[in-house]
Amino acid sequence: MTSPTPPPFLDLGSFLSFLEQSGRLKRVVKPVDKDWEITCIARWVMESTPEDNAYGLLFENVKNYNVPVAVNLYAPYATYSAALRIPPETLLER
């Protein structure tokens, strides 16, 4: 008998907490510009990190904005399948 699949995450906050606890989210606390720096940093991380070690970024201090910005949350298949609460090897089957 297989165990039931847990439900998907119901909000972004709980998913971000899960990613951080599993080492798949890094926080950027230094001030960043939304027009130039976020994209540059995110692209650099994606291109310089093997997919098995990929992680999302949470920019906590975006200049002239009072909300954080999260990017690259679903980059690797493992993270995408974790969001759906399904095994990575079954992701393409569904």
Chain segment 5-46, per-residue pLDDT in tens: 666 788 999 999 999 998 999 999 999 999 999 999 999 999
Q: Under a CB-based contact definition with an 8 Å cutoff, are residues 32 and 63 in contact?
A: yes
Q: Residue 81's CB: how many other CB atoms inside 10 A? A: 18
| CA 34 to chain centroid | 18
Residue 86's pLDDT is 82
Q: Where are the domains of the chain?
A: 24-83
pTM of the entire structure? Answer: 0.81
